[in-house]
Structure 1
Protein backbone atom coordinates (compact mmCIF):
# COMPACT_ATOMS: atom_id res chain seq x y z
CA UNK A 1 0.00 0.00 0.00
CA UNK A 2 1.32 3.44 -0.91
CA UNK A 3 2.38 5.58 2.04
CA UNK A 4 1.58 9.27 2.27
CA UNK A 5 4.58 11.61 2.38
CA UNK A 6 4.13 12.04 6.15
CA UNK A 7 3.94 8.28 6.67
CA UNK A 8 7.04 7.68 4.55
CA UNK A 9 8.98 10.44 6.32
CA UNK A 10 8.02 9.00 9.70
CA UNK A 11 8.97 5.45 8.65
CA UNK A 12 12.30 6.52 7.11
CA UNK A 13 15.03 5.14 9.35
CA UNK A 14 18.64 4.05 9.12
CA UNK A 15 18.61 0.42 8.02
CA UNK A 16 21.87 -1.44 8.53
CA UNK A 17 20.42 -4.88 7.85
CA UNK A 18 19.59 -5.01 4.15
CA UNK A 19 20.01 -7.55 1.39
CA UNK A 20 20.78 -7.47 -2.32
CA UNK A 21 17.15 -7.47 -3.43
CA UNK A 22 15.12 -4.51 -4.69
CA UNK A 23 11.40 -3.78 -4.72
CA UNK A 24 12.00 -1.56 -7.74
CA UNK A 25 13.35 -2.21 -11.21
CA UNK A 26 16.60 -0.47 -12.14
CA UNK A 27 14.59 1.89 -14.34
CA UNK A 28 12.27 2.76 -11.43
CA UNK A 29 15.28 3.51 -9.23
CA UNK A 30 16.77 5.75 -11.92
CA UNK A 31 13.43 7.50 -12.39
CA UNK A 32 13.11 8.06 -8.63
CA UNK A 33 16.55 9.67 -8.47
CA UNK A 34 15.95 11.77 -11.58
CA UNK A 35 12.63 12.97 -10.13
CA UNK A 36 14.38 14.15 -6.96
CA UNK A 37 17.18 15.86 -8.88
CA UNK A 38 14.68 17.66 -11.09
CA UNK A 39 12.38 18.89 -8.34
CA UNK A 40 14.46 19.45 -5.19
CA UNK A 41 15.20 23.18 -4.74
CA UNK A 42 18.63 24.77 -4.60
CA UNK A 43 19.91 28.21 -3.57
CA UNK A 44 19.91 30.64 -6.51
CA UNK A 45 18.62 27.69 -8.56
CA UNK A 46 22.26 26.57 -8.65
CA UNK A 47 21.39 22.90 -9.37
CA UNK A 48 24.84 21.97 -8.05
CA UNK A 49 24.02 18.45 -6.81
CA UNK A 50 25.29 15.50 -8.83
CA UNK A 51 24.05 11.96 -8.14
CA UNK A 52 25.61 8.67 -9.23
CA UNK A 53 23.76 5.33 -8.98
CA UNK A 54 25.90 2.22 -8.55
CA UNK A 55 24.45 -1.29 -8.85
CA UNK A 56 25.87 -4.73 -9.61
CA UNK A 57 29.66 -4.86 -9.96
CA UNK A 58 29.93 -1.08 -9.60
CA UNK A 59 28.27 -1.26 -6.16
CA UNK A 60 30.69 -4.03 -5.12
CA UNK A 61 33.62 -2.02 -6.47
CA UNK A 62 32.72 1.00 -4.34
CA UNK A 63 32.79 -0.96 -1.10
CA UNK A 64 36.06 -2.61 -2.07
CA UNK A 65 37.46 0.90 -2.54
CA UNK A 66 36.22 1.79 0.95
CA UNK A 67 37.79 -1.31 2.48
CA UNK A 68 41.09 -0.72 0.67
CA UNK A 69 41.20 2.87 1.96
CA UNK A 70 40.44 1.84 5.53
CA UNK A 71 42.86 -1.11 5.45
CA UNK A 72 45.70 1.42 5.09
CA UNK A 73 44.60 3.27 8.23
CA UNK A 74 43.29 0.63 10.61
CA UNK A 75 45.61 -1.81 12.41
CA UNK A 76 45.44 -5.30 10.87
CA UNK A 77 44.23 -6.88 14.11
CA UNK A 78 41.24 -4.49 14.22
CA UNK A 79 40.37 -4.45 10.52
CA UNK A 80 38.29 -7.65 10.50
CA UNK A 81 35.60 -5.93 12.59
CA UNK A 82 35.50 -2.99 10.16
CA UNK A 83 35.33 -5.34 7.17
CA UNK A 84 32.50 -7.28 8.79
CA UNK A 85 30.52 -4.07 9.29
CA UNK A 86 31.00 -2.94 5.70
CA UNK A 87 30.19 -6.33 4.21
CA UNK A 88 27.21 -6.92 6.50
CA UNK A 89 25.59 -3.48 6.38
CA UNK A 90 26.56 -1.72 3.14
CA UNK A 91 28.17 -3.98 0.53
CA UNK A 92 25.38 -6.53 1.07
CA UNK A 93 22.78 -4.14 -0.36
CA UNK A 94 21.36 -3.88 -3.86
CA UNK A 95 23.14 -0.64 -4.74
CA UNK A 96 24.64 2.61 -3.51
CA UNK A 97 23.76 6.18 -4.39
CA UNK A 98 26.63 8.69 -4.33
CA UNK A 99 25.90 12.35 -3.68
CA UNK A 100 28.28 15.02 -4.94
CA UNK A 101 28.38 18.79 -5.14
CA UNK A 102 29.87 20.44 -8.23
CA UNK A 103 32.24 22.97 -6.67
CA UNK A 104 32.75 24.65 -10.05
CA UNK A 105 29.13 25.81 -9.79
CA UNK A 106 29.74 27.05 -6.25
CA UNK A 107 32.85 28.97 -7.30
CA UNK A 108 30.96 30.56 -10.18
CA UNK A 109 28.24 31.80 -7.82
CA UNK A 110 30.87 33.13 -5.41
CA UNK A 111 32.38 35.14 -8.25
CA UNK A 112 29.03 36.45 -9.46
CA UNK A 113 27.68 37.29 -6.01
CA UNK A 114 30.69 38.15 -3.79
CA UNK A 115 28.46 39.48 -1.00
CA UNK A 116 27.31 35.90 -0.39
CA UNK A 117 30.70 34.26 -1.01
CA UNK A 118 30.91 32.57 2.40
CA UNK A 119 27.35 31.27 2.19
CA UNK A 120 27.45 29.38 -1.08
CA UNK A 121 29.42 26.33 0.19
CA UNK A 122 26.96 26.04 3.10
CA UNK A 123 23.92 26.43 0.84
CA UNK A 124 25.41 23.88 -1.52
CA UNK A 125 25.61 21.21 1.19
CA UNK A 126 22.09 22.09 2.34
CA UNK A 127 20.90 21.47 -1.21
CA UNK A 128 22.69 18.13 -1.26
CA UNK A 129 21.07 17.17 2.05
CA UNK A 130 17.61 17.90 0.64
CA UNK A 131 18.34 15.56 -2.27
CA UNK A 132 19.44 12.87 0.18
CA UNK A 133 16.27 13.17 2.23
CA UNK A 134 14.01 13.22 -0.82
CA UNK A 135 15.57 10.06 -2.30
CA UNK A 136 15.74 8.32 1.10
CA UNK A 137 12.06 9.02 1.76
CA UNK A 138 11.00 7.81 -1.69
CA UNK A 139 13.04 4.63 -1.21
CA UNK A 140 11.22 4.08 2.08
CA UNK A 141 7.88 4.63 0.37
CA UNK A 142 8.89 1.91 -2.10
CA UNK A 143 9.67 -0.58 0.68
CA UNK A 144 13.44 -0.15 0.59
CA UNK A 145 15.85 0.45 3.46
CA UNK A 146 18.90 2.71 3.32
CA UNK A 147 21.54 4.39 5.43
CA UNK A 148 23.76 7.41 4.92
CA UNK A 149 27.53 6.93 5.12
CA UNK A 150 30.47 9.34 4.94
CA UNK A 151 33.71 7.65 3.93
CA UNK A 152 34.68 10.80 2.09
CA UNK A 153 37.22 12.34 1.74
CA UNK A 154 39.22 9.11 2.18
CA UNK A 155 37.75 7.57 -0.97
CA UNK A 156 37.18 10.66 -3.12
CA UNK A 157 40.12 10.31 -5.49
CA UNK A 158 39.61 6.58 -6.06
CA UNK A 159 35.88 7.03 -6.66
CA UNK A 160 36.46 9.78 -9.22
CA UNK A 161 39.10 7.64 -10.92
CA UNK A 162 36.95 4.48 -10.92
CA UNK A 163 34.08 6.12 -12.82
CA UNK A 164 35.96 8.92 -14.57
CA UNK A 165 34.13 11.68 -12.70
CA UNK A 166 35.16 15.36 -12.84
CA UNK A 167 37.71 16.64 -10.33
CA UNK A 168 35.31 19.44 -9.43
CA UNK A 169 32.78 16.97 -8.01
CA UNK A 170 33.06 16.87 -4.21
CA UNK A 171 31.76 13.64 -2.67
CA UNK A 172 29.31 14.38 0.15
CA UNK A 173 27.74 11.04 1.11
CA UNK A 174 27.12 7.42 0.17
CA UNK A 175 23.67 5.80 0.51
CA UNK A 176 23.67 1.98 0.37
CA UNK A 177 20.17 0.55 -0.08
CA UNK A 178 18.33 -2.75 -0.37
CA UNK A 179 15.32 -4.60 0.99
CA UNK A 180 15.35 -4.51 4.83
CA UNK A 181 15.79 -7.86 6.56
CA UNK A 182 15.39 -6.48 10.10
CA UNK A 183 13.85 -3.41 11.67
CA UNK A 184 15.96 -0.79 13.45
CA UNK A 185 15.62 -0.32 17.20
CA UNK A 186 13.57 2.42 18.88
CA UNK A 187 14.51 5.99 18.09
CA UNK A 188 14.97 8.54 20.85
CA UNK A 189 13.27 11.84 20.12
CA UNK A 190 13.83 15.01 22.13
CA UNK A 191 10.66 16.68 23.42
CA UNK A 192 9.32 18.88 20.63
CA UNK A 193 8.75 21.81 22.97
CA UNK A 194 12.54 22.04 23.22
CA UNK A 195 12.92 22.11 19.44
CA UNK A 196 9.89 23.91 17.99
CA UNK A 197 8.89 27.43 19.03
CA UNK A 198 6.05 29.70 17.99
CA UNK A 199 5.43 33.45 18.37
CA UNK A 200 2.48 35.52 17.27
CA UNK A 201 3.83 39.03 17.96
Structure 2
Protein backbone atom coordinates (compact mmCIF):
# COMPACT_ATOMS: atom_id res chain seq x y z
CA UNK A 1 0.00 0.00 0.00
CA UNK A 2 1.27 3.46 -0.80
CA UNK A 3 -0.64 5.19 2.01
CA UNK A 4 -0.37 4.61 5.70
CA UNK A 5 -2.99 2.17 6.91
CA UNK A 6 -5.02 4.78 8.80
CA UNK A 7 -4.94 7.17 5.84
CA UNK A 8 -6.17 4.48 3.47
CA UNK A 9 -9.07 3.63 5.80
CA UNK A 10 -9.96 7.30 6.15
CA UNK A 11 -9.86 7.89 2.38
CA UNK A 12 -12.08 4.92 1.53
CA UNK A 13 -15.51 6.25 0.63
CA UNK A 14 -18.51 5.28 -1.47
CA UNK A 15 -17.95 6.50 -5.01
CA UNK A 16 -21.00 6.54 -7.28
CA UNK A 17 -19.42 8.59 -10.08
CA UNK A 18 -16.83 6.31 -11.67
CA UNK A 19 -15.36 5.89 -15.14
CA UNK A 20 -14.56 2.88 -17.31
CA UNK A 21 -10.86 3.12 -16.46
CA UNK A 22 -8.50 1.28 -14.13
CA UNK A 23 -5.23 2.32 -12.56
CA UNK A 24 -4.31 -1.38 -12.34
CA UNK A 25 -3.81 -4.06 -14.98
CA UNK A 26 -5.99 -7.18 -14.95
CA UNK A 27 -3.12 -9.09 -13.33
CA UNK A 28 -2.68 -6.42 -10.68
CA UNK A 29 -6.41 -6.47 -9.92
CA UNK A 30 -6.34 -10.24 -9.53
CA UNK A 31 -3.21 -10.06 -7.38
CA UNK A 32 -4.93 -7.51 -5.12
CA UNK A 33 -7.97 -9.76 -4.71
CA UNK A 34 -5.87 -12.90 -4.20
CA UNK A 35 -3.83 -11.11 -1.52
CA UNK A 36 -6.99 -10.20 0.40
CA UNK A 37 -8.47 -13.67 0.09
CA UNK A 38 -5.25 -15.25 1.35
CA UNK A 39 -4.79 -13.04 4.40
CA UNK A 40 -8.26 -11.99 5.60
CA UNK A 41 -9.24 -14.14 8.62
CA UNK A 42 -12.31 -16.30 9.04
CA UNK A 43 -13.89 -18.14 11.98
CA UNK A 44 -12.44 -21.64 12.44
CA UNK A 45 -10.18 -20.77 9.48
CA UNK A 46 -13.20 -21.82 7.42
CA UNK A 47 -12.21 -19.75 4.35
CA UNK A 48 -15.80 -19.64 3.08
CA UNK A 49 -15.56 -16.45 0.98
CA UNK A 50 -15.41 -16.72 -2.81
CA UNK A 51 -14.62 -13.67 -4.94
CA UNK A 52 -15.28 -13.18 -8.67
CA UNK A 53 -13.82 -10.36 -10.76
CA UNK A 54 -15.88 -9.20 -13.76
CA UNK A 55 -14.47 -6.77 -16.33
CA UNK A 56 -15.23 -5.91 -19.95
CA UNK A 57 -18.29 -7.65 -21.38
CA UNK A 58 -18.76 -9.69 -18.21
CA UNK A 59 -19.12 -6.48 -16.18
CA UNK A 60 -21.78 -5.19 -18.59
CA UNK A 61 -23.50 -8.58 -18.61
CA UNK A 62 -23.92 -8.46 -14.85
CA UNK A 63 -25.64 -5.09 -14.88
CA UNK A 64 -27.88 -6.14 -17.78
CA UNK A 65 -28.94 -9.12 -15.65
CA UNK A 66 -29.73 -6.74 -12.78
CA UNK A 67 -31.74 -4.42 -15.05
CA UNK A 68 -33.66 -7.24 -16.75
CA UNK A 69 -34.51 -8.76 -13.37
CA UNK A 70 -35.75 -5.49 -11.90
CA UNK A 71 -37.68 -4.54 -15.05
CA UNK A 72 -39.94 -7.54 -14.41
CA UNK A 73 -40.49 -6.75 -10.75
CA UNK A 74 -41.07 -3.02 -10.37
CA UNK A 75 -43.23 -0.37 -12.03
CA UNK A 76 -42.08 1.32 -15.24
CA UNK A 77 -41.68 4.61 -13.39
CA UNK A 78 -39.57 3.07 -10.63
CA UNK A 79 -37.52 1.12 -13.16
CA UNK A 80 -36.68 4.25 -15.15
CA UNK A 81 -35.05 5.76 -12.04
CA UNK A 82 -33.29 2.51 -11.23
CA UNK A 83 -31.96 2.12 -14.76
CA UNK A 84 -30.63 5.66 -14.69
CA UNK A 85 -28.82 4.94 -11.42
CA UNK A 86 -27.33 1.68 -12.71
CA UNK A 87 -26.21 3.15 -16.02
CA UNK A 88 -24.87 6.32 -14.41
CA UNK A 89 -23.16 4.81 -11.38
CA UNK A 90 -22.46 1.08 -11.68
CA UNK A 91 -22.31 -0.25 -15.23
CA UNK A 92 -20.27 2.77 -16.37
CA UNK A 93 -17.35 1.63 -14.20
CA UNK A 94 -14.41 -0.55 -15.17
CA UNK A 95 -15.54 -3.73 -13.43
CA UNK A 96 -17.48 -5.35 -10.64
CA UNK A 97 -16.30 -7.65 -7.86
CA UNK A 98 -18.81 -10.26 -6.68
CA UNK A 99 -18.65 -11.61 -3.14
CA UNK A 100 -20.05 -15.05 -2.36
CA UNK A 101 -20.14 -17.44 0.57
CA UNK A 102 -19.65 -21.16 -0.05
CA UNK A 103 -22.58 -22.56 1.88
CA UNK A 104 -21.40 -26.16 1.50
CA UNK A 105 -18.52 -25.30 3.83
CA UNK A 106 -20.88 -23.52 6.22
CA UNK A 107 -23.25 -26.51 6.31
CA UNK A 108 -20.37 -28.95 6.87
CA UNK A 109 -19.18 -26.90 9.84
CA UNK A 110 -22.72 -26.81 11.24
CA UNK A 111 -22.79 -30.60 11.19
CA UNK A 112 -19.30 -30.91 12.61
CA UNK A 113 -19.85 -28.41 15.42
CA UNK A 114 -23.60 -28.48 16.25
CA UNK A 115 -23.10 -26.34 19.38
CA UNK A 116 -22.27 -23.39 17.09
CA UNK A 117 -24.72 -24.29 14.33
CA UNK A 118 -26.56 -20.96 14.36
CA UNK A 119 -23.32 -18.96 14.43
CA UNK A 120 -21.63 -20.26 11.30
CA UNK A 121 -23.80 -18.36 8.77
CA UNK A 122 -23.24 -15.18 10.80
CA UNK A 123 -19.51 -15.77 11.02
CA UNK A 124 -19.36 -16.44 7.28
CA UNK A 125 -20.98 -13.10 6.49
CA UNK A 126 -18.61 -11.39 8.91
CA UNK A 127 -15.66 -12.90 7.03
CA UNK A 128 -17.21 -11.79 3.75
CA UNK A 129 -17.56 -8.25 5.09
CA UNK A 130 -13.88 -8.20 6.03
CA UNK A 131 -12.96 -9.23 2.48
CA UNK A 132 -15.16 -6.46 1.13
CA UNK A 133 -13.56 -3.85 3.36
CA UNK A 134 -9.98 -4.90 2.66
CA UNK A 135 -10.45 -5.05 -1.11
CA UNK A 136 -12.40 -1.77 -1.11
CA UNK A 137 -9.62 -0.05 0.86
CA UNK A 138 -6.90 -1.49 -1.40
CA UNK A 139 -8.78 -0.28 -4.49
CA UNK A 140 -8.95 3.20 -2.98
CA UNK A 141 -5.25 3.06 -2.21
CA UNK A 142 -4.65 2.22 -5.89
CA UNK A 143 -6.52 5.38 -6.95
CA UNK A 144 -9.91 3.86 -7.68
CA UNK A 145 -13.38 4.33 -6.26
CA UNK A 146 -16.03 1.73 -5.51
CA UNK A 147 -19.42 1.22 -3.90
CA UNK A 148 -21.14 -1.76 -2.35
CA UNK A 149 -24.45 -2.91 -3.83
CA UNK A 150 -26.91 -5.63 -2.86
CA UNK A 151 -29.17 -6.78 -5.68
CA UNK A 152 -29.04 -10.27 -4.25
CA UNK A 153 -30.93 -12.52 -3.80
CA UNK A 154 -33.01 -11.37 -6.78
CA UNK A 155 -30.21 -11.99 -9.28
CA UNK A 156 -28.45 -14.94 -7.63
CA UNK A 157 -29.68 -17.71 -9.94
CA UNK A 158 -28.98 -15.82 -13.16
CA UNK A 159 -25.56 -14.71 -11.98
CA UNK A 160 -24.55 -18.26 -11.07
CA UNK A 161 -25.86 -19.55 -14.39
CA UNK A 162 -24.15 -16.82 -16.42
CA UNK A 163 -20.68 -17.84 -15.22
CA UNK A 164 -21.35 -21.48 -14.35
CA UNK A 165 -20.79 -20.94 -10.64
CA UNK A 166 -21.75 -23.58 -8.04
CA UNK A 167 -25.32 -23.56 -6.77
CA UNK A 168 -24.10 -23.62 -3.17
CA UNK A 169 -22.40 -20.23 -3.57
CA UNK A 170 -24.57 -17.56 -1.96
CA UNK A 171 -24.20 -14.07 -3.44
CA UNK A 172 -23.58 -11.49 -0.70
CA UNK A 173 -22.67 -8.24 -2.46
CA UNK A 174 -21.58 -6.55 -5.69
CA UNK A 175 -18.80 -3.95 -5.81
CA UNK A 176 -18.64 -1.85 -9.00
CA UNK A 177 -15.37 0.08 -9.31
CA UNK A 178 -13.45 2.40 -11.59
CA UNK A 179 -11.49 5.62 -11.63
CA UNK A 180 -13.45 8.29 -9.70
CA UNK A 181 -14.97 11.15 -11.67
CA UNK A 182 -15.92 13.24 -8.63
CA UNK A 183 -15.26 12.94 -4.92
CA UNK A 184 -18.14 12.29 -2.52
CA UNK A 185 -19.31 15.03 -0.19
CA UNK A 186 -18.74 15.21 3.53
CA UNK A 187 -20.16 12.44 5.70
CA UNK A 188 -22.05 12.83 8.96
CA UNK A 189 -20.43 10.98 11.82
CA UNK A 190 -22.20 10.31 15.10
CA UNK A 191 -20.38 11.51 18.21
CA UNK A 192 -17.79 8.87 19.07
CA UNK A 193 -18.67 9.12 22.75
CA UNK A 194 -22.00 7.56 21.84
CA UNK A 195 -20.34 4.69 19.99
CA UNK A 196 -17.09 3.86 21.77
CA UNK A 197 -16.81 2.92 25.46
CA UNK A 198 -13.94 1.90 27.69
CA UNK A 199 -13.80 0.32 31.15
CA UNK A 200 -10.85 -0.63 33.33
CA UNK A 201 -12.54 -2.19 36.36
Give the TM bin, normalised by the shorter chain: over 0.9
Show the 5 A alignment for 1:99-178.
99-178=99-178
Q: Equivalent residue of 2:88, what SS? A: helix
Aligned counterpart, 2:41: 41
Displacement of 1:79 in angstroms is: 1.8
TM-score by length of 1: 0.99
Q: Equivalent residue of 1:13, what SS? A: coil
For structure 1, list consecutive stretches of 5 or more residues without a partner in the other structure: none
Equivalent residue pairs, number: 201
Give me the CA root mean square deviation: 0.9
Displacement of 1:73 in angstroms is: 1.0
Displacement of 1:170 in angstroms is: 0.1
Q: Equivalent residue of 2:21, what SS? A: coil
Aligned counterpart, 1:3: 3
Deviations 1:2-41 (A, max 9, x none): 2111101001000000000001111100000000000000
Q: Equivalent residue of 1:22, what SS? A: coil
Deviations 1:72-122 (A, max 9, x none): 011123322111100000000000000000000000000000000000000
Q: Equivalent residue of 2:74, what SS? A: coil
Measured in 1, the distance between the counterparts of 2:81 and 2:153 equals: 21
Deviations 1:130-186 (A, max 9, x none): 000000000000010000000000000000000000000000000000000001111
Measured in 2, the distance between the counterparts of 1:188 and 1:28 equals: 34
Q: Equivalent residue of 2:96, what SS? A: strand
Measured in 2, the distance between the counterparts of 1:5 and 1:155 equals: 35
Q: Equivalent residue of 2:178, what SS? A: strand
Aligned counterpart, 2:23: 23
Measured in 2, the distance between the counterparts of 1:184 and 1:22 equals: 19
Q: Check if 1:91 corresponds to 2:86.
A: no
Deviations 1:37-62 (A, max 9, x none): 00000000000000000000000000
TM-score by length of 2: 0.99
Measured in 2, the distance between the counterparts of 1:112 and 1:77 equals: 49
Q: Equivalent residue of 1:52, what SS? A: strand
Aligned counterpart, 1:51: 51
Structure 1 moving runs of 4+ over 2 Å = none
Identify the range of structure 1 (132-141 vs 79-88) with the bigger mean alpha-carbon deviation. Answer: 79-88
For structure 2, list consecutive stretches of 5 or more residues without a partner in the other structure: none
Measured in 1, the distance between the counterparts of 2:21 and 2:123 equals: 35
